[in-house]
Amino acid sequence: MKEDADLILSLPCSSSNVADSFMWHSDKLGTFSVKSAYHLGCNLASNSSSSGLNLLNSWWKFLWRLKVPFKVKLLVWRACHNWIASNVNLAMCGMKVNCFCPLCSTKLESISHALWFCPTLKKVRTMCSFFRNFKVTEGMRFMEFMIICMNQLFPAGMEFLCMIMWRIWYRRNGLVHASNSIHAVDIVPWADSYLEDFKRENFPLVIDYGAHRLRGIS
Ligand SMILES: [Zn+2]
């Protein structure tokens, strides 16, 4: 790694002309022992898992507090657990299905693809101007995708995004089962209007109707 190489090269050289030797950094005397390696391993594991756990806990708390209909939270929760029936997931469960996206037929239908990256959703993404600079990619897990969004959006923005994703999944299922034919261009205005009505009815004392518009969501 370049970072490691730079660190090593930045170490000052000894002026006492002592021969080089191996030193174990986790022991006061520099001597390696299985015991010190075990303690080092335990510390590393607990640090990484506790920070990951904190992030996950923050995300779940954030999600369940969002002011969106329960069905929307449930969809996002299931998507984060990889529990929605995209074609890739169905194939992983042993079903004989075509793993490609039924709408664009150009890519595998992962959850991130189905809920955001499908080329047929280009107009949706274009209308969400708040989303243009987010460092998200189609290959990342949906949970990771949402945590990145959480870190960059106000709750009202995330509520809007979750509502849009719910409509996207609804549209996808409708097109697959030929029960509806919602146009992509209608998804964002529908989500905007639905969410505003929902908040007015359920949170009449919270004055943030349309707050997403003020935050750059066009
Ligand atoms: Zn697609």
Residue 40 has pLDDT above 90, yes or no: no
Between the CA of 170 and the centroid of ligand 1 the distance, in Å, is 14
For 115-135, write each residue's pLDDT tens digit: 999 999 999 999 988 777 788
| Stronger pLDDT, 130 or 28, i.e. the higher one | 130
Q: Residue 171 has which token pair?
A: 């549209």
Phi, psi for residue 108 in degrees, rounded to 5: -65, 145
Between the CA of 71 and the centroid of ligand 1 the distance, in Å, is 23
Between the CA of 198 and the centroid of ligand 1 the distance, in Å, is 29
Between the CA of 189 and the centroid of ligand 1 the distance, in Å, is 21
Identify whether the C-beta of residue 173 lies closer than 8 Å to the C-beta of residue 182: no
Task: Write down the pLDDT at residue 4.
Answer: 53
Task: Write down the pLDDT at residue 103.
Answer: 95
Between the CA of 187 and the centroid of ligand 1 the distance, in Å, is 16
- Please give the model's pTM, rounded to 2 decimal places: 0.73
Between the CA of 100 and the centroid of ligand 1 the distance, in Å, is 8
d(C-alpha 42, C-alpha 37), whole Å? 9
Identify whether the C-beta of residue 53 lies closer than 8 Å to the C-beta of residue 146: no
Residue 216 has pLDDT above 80, yes or no: no
- Neighbouring residues of 105: CB distance < 8 A, sequence distance ≥ 6: none
For 156-212, write each residue's pLDDT tens digit: 999 999 999 999 999 999 999 887 789 999 999 999 999 999 999 998 877 665 555
Residue 23 has pLDDT above 80, yes or no: no
- Angle CA(198)–CA(180)–CA(165) in degrees, nearest 5? 45
